[in-house]
Amino acid sequence: MPVEVVDAPNTRGTRIASGAVRAVSMVAAVVSVASSAAFIVLAADRVPFSNYNVTTTDWLLVFVISGYTLAIAGFAWLIALVAAWRKRHLCTRWLAAPPALLAVGVLAAVAIGLAIPEGFDASRPELEAVAAQARSHPPGWSENYGYDDPRHVGNMDVGSVLHRKDGVVLVSNADSGLFFQMSGWAHSPEGPPTFDPGVRGLKVKHLEGPWYSYRYVL
């Protein structure tokens, strides 16, 4: 009586397929960790063990690069998930790693962002001190710190401070830099500050008291 031979699931082809699913999952997990780390750095506005200043340009680059890599890795991971679902012997615990790691990273970035107060109101006392310090110098005085090693004022990164001849104190935002945009804050007790009429896209907004925010294109 002939005996029917049934191929064992652990054939060479199955081992290759299992290895491919596991490899795709591991790569997707690495991409998830790298993207999560980048989001955490953006949320903290600090690069660990470095004086590098995170700017708006870095935000754009991280979102574009992470978006593309996550989309590609996610598509490959989805194919691996469907293959493992259709053939249960291809299942591996690595399949759960990419979404779990990405979720943990995003939650950590959100928690850090909420824990670190941002914006003008959170740093106003320190900005007031900077304005008073600038006015202790004669009009025309300025101090430049640059974008690479800015001055930390509260939770703000300041690129320069200028006591203009009209009495206005300008505090530039060292985190601006997207498409050559300049932004910052102006302490102007006499009313809205004026700027060179040659600047493009000028936007001045009253914040509170003598403080205004400004933005323009170089």
Residue 167 shares a structural domain with residue 195: yes
Measured CA to CA, the distance from residue 116 to residue 154 in angstroms comes to 11
Q: Is 44 part of a structural domain of the chain?
A: yes
- Domain containing 195: what range? 120-217
In a domain, 7, yes or no: no
Please state, in angstroms and rounded to a whole number, the distance separating the CA atoms of residues 145 and 25: 45
Q: Give pLDDT, residue 15.
A: 66
Q: Give the 3-state secondary structure of residue 67.
A: helix
Domain count, the chain: 2
DSSP structure string for 158-181: EEEEEE-TTS-EEEEETT--GGGE
Question: What single-letter amino acid sits at 150?
Answer: P
pTM: predicted TM-score of the whole model, two decimal places: 0.68
**Residue ending a domain, choose from 115, 136, 161:** 115
Q: If the chain, 218 residues long, is cut into consecutive pieces of 10 residues, what is the mean pLDDT of each piece?
A: 48 68 87 93 81 80 92 91 74 82 92 79 91 94 86 88 94 78 91 86 92 88
